[in-house]
Structure formats: structure tokens, C-alpha cells
């Protein structure tokens, strides 16, 4: 065995080729099983397209899979990702809203291709789609392609020069207002969770709690206490926040495969151990 049997490993935030992860849903479920995890949630950006394949793989490998999503939302204080767990497979209203985000993304990608071309960097949609190996093309695939073609020396340089907010080929994407994203998750039978709160705190420490309150007032149900970038101190801070605002505790590695090197499924940078009890409480809240 890889792991100490007393520690249950679960991972409630991961990406597949349905968005910008590098493993297919089936591969990810198999990896979770092989690495000794006990449960895995698939939370692709603005799409639920990977959930069906993951559920099939879960049945095949006798492994617990949680259908989810990570929605790019917009709040008065800036962008905030919101994870939804346990979505119904027939959450049609959500699918149509997410489709709108994806249509916007397609147009954004086309425009970014034009911007790059004007900078003397010709890339095509077909090449980006090969890079993505799945449905959704995003900035990580632009970065990977620019690196492969030698226009930059590192993946990070592609972001610094061209792709980060304010970069020469950057265009913003469309986000759903946070209250709509939360409501949509609830309408789809899901549990709504504040993703990676350390980012929100780092952006504006002074108003951090006020911003959490904004989401709480709009019905958010949980918060990611466990995340690779969270120190033990962060975990304690966010756990205290969860207690005070009566929020469910969640967490995950935000595994993306080779796009986020060094992060292991269920383990993050090696020190994560998300108690299975978190998932029990989330399941309890559904009923
Ligand atoms: P997109 O949804 O197309 O805007 O791409 C967002 C993804 O790009 C994020 O999930 C990150 O994986 C990646 N990303 C965004 N900003 C940076 C950055 N400054 N450096 C490296 N990766 C980034
Ligand atoms: Zn991503
Ligand atoms: Fe995120
Ligand atoms: Fe994520």
C-alpha cells in the first residue's frame, strides 16, 4: 500500500480533459483507485461533460465518484470560483447557462488567436484542440502550444508575456454572477462550495470576511478548507470560518495532471489528508 491505512484519502476538486486537465475522466478514476483514494469528485471548469464517463468508470472500478463542476463566477469583489458537488445528471438549466459560458469562451479563443497572429504568432484552433485533447480550450492550452512551438521558453513565460490578465493576447472570459451560480447549483441538486478561499484572502485580506459573508448571504453551503496552497494555519483559519458561518468543510487538490506539476491526486504537495467525514457531512446536507 502507498498510504497509511488510518488516513482516508479523498479528493473533492479535480479537472479532466473535459476542461483543462490532462487525464480523461476514466483515467482519473482509475488513478484515484490505484493510488488508494476512497472518493473522487470531478469538478471541471464550466462543464459537466466529464461526469458521465467518470460515473461509468466508477461503476467499472467499484469506486466512489462525485459528479461536480467548478463555475467561474463574478462577485462585487472580483472573480470567485464556486464548486458544485452532487449535481443531478439532468440539471438542464445549469447546462444551458454553462453552454453560454462555453460559447463565449469559443469566441474569446478565436479573438485571442487573432491577437497572437498580430503579434507574429500564428496558431490555429485545430492545434489548440489537439493540445486540449478534449472539449474545452483555455489559456493553459495556448501556453502549452506556445511552449511547444518555441515562442516561449517556459509555460509560465507564456502567461507572463501573453496570457495573464493584462497580457498582450489576453481577453477576459464571461462569468456568471455568484448568486446565479449558487442558485444554479442548488437547482441542479448540488451543494455549493467556495473554492480555494486563500486566493480571495490574498487579494483583499481586510475585506475577506465581508466577502465570505456576501456568499453566505446568497446561500453558499461550504468552503474548501483543504487545498494544496493552504498552510496548516490557513486550514485552521478557514475551519474556524466554517464553524462560525455554519459551512460544510470540503477540499481537494485541484489536480490538473501535467498542467499543474507537483500536485498529486488526494495528496497535493504531499501533506494533504482530507477526512472522509467531510464527505459524510456533505452527503448528509443533501437530504
Ligand atoms: P481560462 O479559463 O482560459 O481563463 O484559464 C484559466 C486557467 O489558466 C487557470 O485555471 C490556471 O490553470 C491558468 N492560469 C491563469 N493565470 C495563470 C498564470 N498567471 N500563470 C499560470 N497559469 C495561469
Ligand atoms: Zn483549470
Ligand atoms: Fe479554481
Ligand atoms: Fe479548479
Least trusted range by pLDDT, from 24-28, 222-226, 268-272: 268-272
Q: Give span(s): CATH 3.20.20.140, the chain.
A: 10-98+174-286
- Cα–Cα dist 225/285, whole Å: 17
Query: Residues 198, 230: contact at Cβ < 8 Å?
Result: yes
- Cα–Cα dist 193/85, whole Å: 8
> Does the C-beta of 174 come closer than 6 Å to ligand 1?
no
Q: Which fold has domain 99-163?
A: DNA polymerase; domain 1 (1.10.150)
Q: Tell the burial category of 14 from Cβ atoms under 10 Å away from its Cβ (0-12, 13-18, 19+).
A: buried
Query: Residues 251, 39: contact at Cβ < 8 Å?
Result: no
Angle, to 10 degrees, between the axis of helix 92-118 and the axis of helix 178-187?
Answer: 140
Nearest one of 67, 12, 22 to 185, comparing CA atoms: 67
- CA–chain centroid gap for 87, Å, is 15
> Does the C-beta of 159 come closer than 6 Å to ligand 1?
yes
Residue 171 confidence (pLDDT) above 60:
yes
Ligand nearest to the CA of 16: 2
CB proximity list for 52: less than 8 A, separation 6 or greater: 89
Q: What is the grid cell recorded at 193? A: 462550495
CB proximity list for 212: less than 8 A, separation 6 or greater: 194, 197, 200, 223, 241, 245
Q: Give span(s): CATH 1.10.150, the chain.
A: 99-163
Q: Which fold has domain 10-98+174-286?
A: TIM Barrel (3.20.20)
pLDDT at 287: 73
With bands split at pLDDT 50, 70 and 90, how would you rate the model's confidence at 162? Answer: very high
Atom of ligand 1 nearest to the CA of 108: 3
Atom of ligand 1 nearest to the CA of 173: 4
- Cα–Cα dist 79/73, whole Å: 6
Which whole number is the average pLDDT over 40-51? 95
Residue nearest to atom 13 of ligand 1 (CA): 140
pLDDT at 6: 56
Residue nearest to atom 4 of ligand 1 (CA): 139
- Specify the pTM: 0.90
Query: Residues 87, 65: contact at Cβ < 8 Å?
Result: no
pLDDT at 250: 98
- Residues 69-91: tens digit of each pLDDT: 999 999 999 999 999 999 998 77
Which whole number is the average pLDDT over 190-208? 96
Count Cβ atoms below 10 Å from residue 122 Cβ, excluding itself.
11
Q: What is the grid cell recorded at 112? A: 485571442
- Residues 102-133: tens digit of each pLDDT: 999 999 999 999 999 999 999 999 999 999 88
- Tell me the CB-side half-sphere exposure of residue 139, using CA atoms within 13 A: 18
Question: For a substitution probing ligand 1, which of 139, 159, 163, 172 has the most ligand atoms within 8 Å of its CB?
Answer: 139
- Residues 130-148: tens digit of each pLDDT: 998 867 899 999 999 999 9
Q: Tell the burial category of 286 from Cβ atoms under 10 Å away from its Cβ (0-12, 13-18, 19+).
A: exposed
| Phi, psi for residue 122 in degrees, rounded to 5 | -80, 120
Residue 179 confidence (pLDDT) above 90:
yes
> Does the C-beta of 162 come closer than 6 Å to ligand 1?
no
Amino acid at each position: 500500500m502507498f498510504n497509511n491505512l488510518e488516513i482516508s484519502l479523498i479528493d473533492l476538486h479535480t479537472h479532466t480533459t473535459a476542461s483543462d486537465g490532462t487525464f480523461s475522466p476514466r483515467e482519473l478514476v482509475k488513478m484515484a483507485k490505484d493510488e488508494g483514494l476512497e472518493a473522487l469528485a470531478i469538478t471541471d471548469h464550466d462543464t459537466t461533460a466529464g461526469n458521465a464517463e467518470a460515473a461509468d468508470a466508477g461503476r467499472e472500478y467499484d469506486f466512489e465518484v462525485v459528479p461536480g463542476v467548478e463555475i467561474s463566477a463574478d462577485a462585487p469583489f472580483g472573480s470567485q470560483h464556486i464548486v458544485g458537488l452532487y449535481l443531478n445528471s439532468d440539471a438542464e438549466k445549469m447546462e444551458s447557462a454553462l453552454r453560454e459560458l462555453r460559447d463565449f469562451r469559443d469566441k474569446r479563443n478565436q479573438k485571442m488567436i487573432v491577437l497572437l497572429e498580430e503579434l507574429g504568432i500564428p496558431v490555429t484552433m485545430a492545434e489548440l484542440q489537439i493540445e486540449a485533447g478534449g472539449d474545452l480550450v483555455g489559456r493553459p492550452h495556448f501556453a502549452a502550444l506556445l511552449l511547444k512551438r518555441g515562442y516561449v521558453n517556459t509555460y509560465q513565460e507564456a502567461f507572463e508575456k501573453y496570457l495573464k490578465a493584462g497580457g498582450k493576447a489576453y481577453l477576459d472570459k464571461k462569468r456568471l454572477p455568484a448568486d446565479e451560480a449558487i442558485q444554479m447549483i442548488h437547482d441542479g441538486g448540488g451543494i455549493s462550495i467556495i473554492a480555494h478561499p486563500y486566493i480571495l484572502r490574498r487579494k483583499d485580506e481586510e475585506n475577506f470576511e465581508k466577502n465570505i459573508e456576501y456568499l453566505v448571504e446568497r446561500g453558499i453551503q461550504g468552503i474548501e478548507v483543504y487545498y494544496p496552497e493552504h498552510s496548516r494555519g490557513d486550514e485552521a483559519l478557514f475551519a474556524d470560518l466554517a464553524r462560525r458561518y455554519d459551512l460544510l468543510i470540503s477540499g481537494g487538490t485541484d489536480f490538473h495532471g501535467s498542467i499543474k506539476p507537483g500536485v498529486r491526486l488526494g495528496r497535493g504537495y504531499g501533506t494533504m489528508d482530507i477526512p472522509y467525514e467531510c464527505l459524510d457531512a456533505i452527503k448528509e446536507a443533501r437530504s
